[in-house]
Amino acid sequence: VSLHYKVAPSTITSILKKEDAIRAADENSKKKRFAKGEFPDLENALVKWMNQARNSNVPVGGQILREKAKFFATRLGISNEDFRCSDGWFDRFKKRNNIKFKVCGESASVSTELCSEWKAKLKTIIQEYEAKNIFNADKTGLFFKCLPDRSMCFKGEKCHGGKSSKERITLLLAANMDGSEKLKPLMIGKSAKPRCFKNINSFPMAYRANKKAWMTSDLFNEWVTSINAEMEKKNRRILLFIDNCTAHNNPPHLSHVAVEFLPPNTTSILQPLDQGVIKVFKSFYRTEIVQQLLDSLEENVDHKISLLSAMYIADKSWKKVSEKTIRNCFRTSGFIKDDSVIAPSEPDNEIATPNEWNRLTHDDNPITFQEFVSFDDDVAVAEMLSEDEILNQLADDVDVEEEEEPEEDEVPNISHKEAKKMINRIRHYLSRSNVDDNVFNAIHTIDIAIDNTRINNCVVQTTMEKYLKKK
């Protein structure tokens, strides 16, 4: 291409990087050039602040935005003579950033018109991708230790910090449009080095930590970069839909992942995972918690849920979410590649109350199982930047601290002999029921893995002994 048009390869690369902006400008005949405005840093800070406020359901009107523009101008050292926040500047700023104001306080509700416009445009956006290569990623907060008797204490809790944040994690979940692939979750906790992780070398999902157990720009960029590397190895290109929360605002350059932002303040309708996927995942998680609690009560032992236990339960719960549920939720959000009618909600999107629930509760219990599943739906899951942090981010000067918090017991070591006894007991337990051959094949695979682990450990030990003798 560069030889044909007699331009440098770097020019072609630059044009490809700006493809979306060029196409958008071409579609809008009113825009004759790419106007960034006279004060790009001010505008970037203002847009970040506005998106964060809208995503937190904080009403943002024109007057509030203009006052905030004056504030950022002062902080950036722009004099009143150079920047007056005139009507003309404000109108141009809104056009440059496609900002529209409906009614004061509209951010708390979803614009039906905006959703309809987006769904109409969505078919064009996804038409070049197969359903298996169209993904949505979404975050959810989870009070991983919380039992039914304590859930009412946290109901409606935003959890911006404080003691309760120690019992909360944030999970990033992602799945594709046809439900055939669920990516490994990312778990974000508060403790950088949980004691229960000691001597554990294999985890079912990635784990990161910061002081508030929130998603941050650095963590999101690390995650999406790892997904990009994974897709590059497979020579596969995917389209990833995400909301425009602050943590997603500065994605890195990606060769095999195209990032598409959902319109602000529409995720309750347009975000596929918000249509029932996360709800079903949480129902599986809390059903497992209820079952474990009952087992502990029957054995008369204390019921403890460590961060590692929560990770295993979350992994199991995520794997149990069906392809059918995921497909249905994508369709409900308007992700349709043909002109067929959106299917109604399917039965497996509904949360069934487990039988064990009635054994834990009484008629006068103030909470239902459905409330137990969803009591932490409104928990904050992403960094909320102050004005200073927004300005610092413009200079790439964001630093998220982590701290070590030894708060949980270590997982006791298990000998090879004990592991073999456990697998044999599981095999014996299942042999008393009519189970599929695949189950016994899985047990056989685990049995071999246990033996291989012992062999590998012996090899390492022998090698170390030989090395020490030479010394």
Instruction: Look up the pTM and report it.
Output: 0.67
CA proximity to 185, closest of 216, 209, 207: 207
Q: Cα–Cα distance between 6 and 276 in angstroms, integer?
A: 52
How high is the pLDDT of residue 368? 78
Exposure string (b/e) for 338-354, b if CB count within 10 Å is 16 or more?
Answer: eeeeeeeebeebebebb
- Note the pLDDT tens digit of each residue in 8-67: 555 566 566 556 556 655 554 444 334 556 888 888 888 888 877 766 555 667 788 888
Condensed to tens digits (0 to 9), the pLDDT of residues 280-297 reads 999 999 988 888 888 877
What pairing do the DSSP bridges indicate for beta strands 134-143 and 238-242? Answer: parallel
Numbers of helices and strands, H then E, in the chain: 18, 6
Q: Hey, what are 263's tokens? A: 């319109």
Structural domain spans, the chain:
2-109, 113-374, 416-470
Answer yes or no: is pLDDT of 140 > 60.
Answer: yes
**pLDDT higher at 13 or 225:** 225
Question: What percentage of the chain reaches a pLDDT higher than 70?
Answer: 70
**pLDDT-based confidence at 103, cuts 50/70/90?**
very low
- The sheet carrying 186-189 orders its strands as 206-209, 186-189, 168-176, 134-143, 238-242, 257-261
pLDDT value at residue 257: 98
Could you read off the pLDDT of 318-363 as tens digits, one per residue? 999 999 999 999 999 999 987 554 454 444 545 666 676 766 665 5
d(CA 344, CA 346): 6
Look at domain 113-374 and name its CATH class: alpha beta
> Exposed, middle or buried: residue 400 (CB in 10 Å: 0-12, 13-18, 19+)?
middle
* CATH entry 3.30.565.10 includes domain 2-109: no
Look up tokens 């975050």; give the residue.
139
Closest of 278, 273, 269, 286 to residue 370, by C-alpha: 286
Please compute the mean of the pLDDT values over residues 220-227 and round it to a whole number.
97
Q: Specify which residues 260 forms β-bridges with.
A: 241
